Each structure stands twice: as structure tokens, then as C-alpha cells.
């Protein structure tokens, strides 16, 4: 079975696939223009979030049998269209959950103790000991919107910090470790609100002006899910008004984004979509991609 690796993939995973007899070519900087020329020679492709797999590309690749997304979100693949053409679409649902959860915790600590501002102050040669009074995470209420793989990893860690954890997820039942509440309740009660939902029509701007209005003054918001789940203009207004005391963002409505207006505000800290970018997560993603492709090849007698 011939596989084209279209985005950066762990070297040991590539070695594992080759050792299992798969023919693997790495073109991890391939352009959208080159893909329709090159891909028809392959049975499978591996993508991360960079490569877009849209209907016209699928139409141009009649031999394609499997698409593997190293990572969680499938928003860069026209999944239904691929399935309608008999192409199998696989991903690595839990491989990066712990890394994203740790980033969320890091952001909560950073906001509670003003770590970004204190560092900026120290680098400017200042000693502003009185300026930076923080607060503890222990005893605060953490609201988790979307209690899937990442939401649960965040919940487990937050409970170890003595936070009260509440969650809203209409598709989760019988999960006893966390108090499940309504959307209205999570918005009204949370001191920290972290989002861990997919971006769908239903979740688009699930947090917007009406929700910010109902939040506790001084709430802090973290989004390491997908940009579209928060209305960025409404977040900007809520930060400027002081209703939201801080926001930490790893994902944006449009990516890549440079010169984003939210980053003109001191209360905003963030990163360029690096939630899964750890040594460990990359290793697990690669291992799962390799295992799934090898299993697919065996099942389909390649």
C-alpha cells in the first residue's frame, strides 16, 4: 500500500510503517497545487491540520482509499464527501488530550498569578512587587464546556488543584466525577470557563455577547478548542468593559492570524495553535497513525 505523508509526521512512525511493509513517501511541504498531480499514485494519505482535503481533491484522486488525520479535529477534511466515495477517514482522538489539558492548566496559573505581566515587567528592569496581587486556583469554580477527551483530562487535573469542577455537555450522560449543569448555569457560576467542544453549526459562537453578559464579573476564559466557538468581537468588548478579567487563546476564527486585535489587550495571553505541539503528543499521534494504517492495510489485504 502506497502512502503519502502530506504534513509533518513523527520519524519513528514513518519507520514503523515502512518496517510493516507500507511504501511511504514523505512530502510534508506539498502545496495544494501539487497535490492533485501527485496524490493519484497513492492509496492513502496522512495529514495534520495544514493540508486541506476538499471535494475537488477527492474527485481528482479515484485511487484513494484512506485518509488519516494525525490529530483530533476533522475540519480540514470533507469527511462526508470522502465517505460517500468509499474512502475511510481515521483520526487519533485521544493522543494529544493530555498536552492540551496541560496548556489549559498553564494558562489558568498564568492568569491567576499574572505571569506574563510580571515577566514583561522584570524584563523591563522593574521591581513592581506591590502591583501583582494574584489569586489561587484552589476553591475557584472551573466550568468546562464540552466534556470529551480533553475536557475530562482538564477536569481530573483541576480537581487535584482543589477547584470545583462543573461541566456542560448535552451528549454526556452518567459521568459521575463532575457536576453536570445547564449551559446557563455554567455561564453564571464559572470563575474560569474553558471550552473543549468541536466547532459545528450548533457550537458556532456558543459564547457571545448574551453569554458574556450573564457571566460573573472578573471571569477568565480559555479557548484551546476551535476559534469559531467564541465570538471574538464579543470577547474583545467583554474584556474592554472589564466584565472578563482575562482570556487565554490558542485557537482563532481565522488561522494563521497576525496582528489580531485581541492581542492589543494586556489581559489577553495566547499561542499560535500549539495545544498538541509537545514531544509526547507528537510521538503518540505518530504511533497511532502508524498503527491505524498498518491495521487498515492488513484488513484490506494490501
Ligand X SMILES: NC(=O)c1ccc[n+]([C@@H]2O[C@H](COP(=O)([O-])OP(=O)(O)OC[C@H]3O[C@@H](n4cnc5c(N)ncnc54)[C@H](O)[C@@H]3O)[C@@H](O)[C@H]2O)c1
Residue 157 annotated as catalytic: no
Kindly identify the residues of this chain, within the stretch 9-68, that bind ligand X according to CB under 6 A.
none
Should residue 150 be labelled a site residue for ligand X when binding is judged by CB under 6 A? yes
Please identify which of the residues 48, 69, 189, 273 carries the catalytic annotation: 273
Range 192-211, binding ligand X (CB under 6 A): 196-199, 202-203
Residue 284 known to be catalytic: no
Cα 285 from Cα 62, distance rounded (Å):
27
Burial readout 40-69 (b: 16 or more C-beta within 10 A, e: otherwise): eebbbbbbbbebebeeebbeebeebbbbbb
Evaluated on CA atoms 290, 294, 299, 302, the torsion sign reads positive
DSSP annotation string for 153-181: HHHHHHHHTT-EEEEE-TT--S--SSEE-
Is 54 annotated in the active site? no
Q: Which is nearer to ligand X, 105 or 150 (CB)?
A: 150
70 binds ligand X (CB under 6 A): no
Of the ranges 18-26, 130-138, 141-149, 238-246, which one interacts with ligand X (CB under 6 A)? 141-149
Q: What is the DSSP letter of 207?
A: B
C-beta separation of 44 from 67 below 8 A? yes
Considering only residues 106 through 125, tell me which ones interact with ligand X, judged by CB under 6 A. none
Smallest separation, CB 225 to ligand X (Å): 4
Which residues are at the interface with ligand X (CB under 6 A)?
Answer: 72-73, 93, 96-97, 100, 145-151, 168-172, 196-199, 202-203, 224-226, 250-251, 273, 275-276
Catalytic residues: 226, 255, 273
Amino acid at each position: 500500500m502506497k502512502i503519502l505523508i502530506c504534513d509533518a509526521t513523527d520519524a519513528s512512525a514513518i519507520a514503523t510503517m515502512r518496517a510493516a511493509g507500507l511504501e511511504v513517501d514523505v512530502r510534508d511541504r506539498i502545496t495544494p497545487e501539487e497535490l492533485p498531480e501527485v496524490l493519484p499514485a497513492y492509496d492513502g494519505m496522512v495529514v495534520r491540520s495544514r493540508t486541506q482535503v476538499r471535494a475537488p481533491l477527492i474527485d481528482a484522486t479515484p485511487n484513494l482509499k484512506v485518509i488519516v488525520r494525525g490529530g483530533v479535529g476533522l475540519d480540514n477534511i470533507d469527511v462526508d464527501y470522502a465517505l460517500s466515495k468509499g474512502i475511510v477517514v481515521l483520526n487519533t482522538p485521544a493522543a494529544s488530550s493530555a498536552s492540551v489539558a496541560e496548556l489549559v492548566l498553564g494558562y489558568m496559573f498564568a492568569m491567576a498569578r499574572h505571569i506574563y505581566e510580571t515577566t514583561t515587567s522584570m524584563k523591563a528592569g522593574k521591581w513592581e512587587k506591590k502591583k501583582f496581587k494574584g489569586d489561587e486556583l484552589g476553591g475557584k469554580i472551573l466550568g468546562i464546556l464540552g466534556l470529551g477527551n480533553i475536557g475530562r483530562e482538564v477536569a481530573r487535573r483541576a480537581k487535584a488543584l482543589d477547584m470545583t469542577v462543573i461541566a456542560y455537555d448535552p451528549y454526556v450522560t452518567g459521568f459521575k466525577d463532575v457536576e453536570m449543569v445547564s449551559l446557563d448555569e455554567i455561564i453564571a457560576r464559572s470563575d474560569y470557563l474553558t471550552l473543549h467542544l468541536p466547532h459545528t453549526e450548533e457550537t458556532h459562537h456558543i459564547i457571545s455577547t448574551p453569554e458574556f453578559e450573564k457571566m460573573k464579573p472578573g471571569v477568565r476564559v480559555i479557548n484551546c478548542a476551535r476559534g469559531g466557538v467564541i465570538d471574538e468581537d464579543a470577547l474583545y468588548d467583554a474584556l474592554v468593559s472589564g466584565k472578563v478579567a482575562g482570556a487565554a487563546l490558542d485557537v482563532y476564527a481565522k488561522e494563521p492570524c497576525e496582528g489580531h486585535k485581541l492581542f492589543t489587550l494586556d489581559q489577553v495571553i495566547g499561542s499560535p495553535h500549539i495545544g498538541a505541539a509537545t514531544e509526547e503528543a507528537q510521538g503518540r499521534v505518530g504511533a497511532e497513525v502508524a498503527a491505524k494504517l498498518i491495521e487498515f492495510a492488513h484488513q484490506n489485504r494490501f
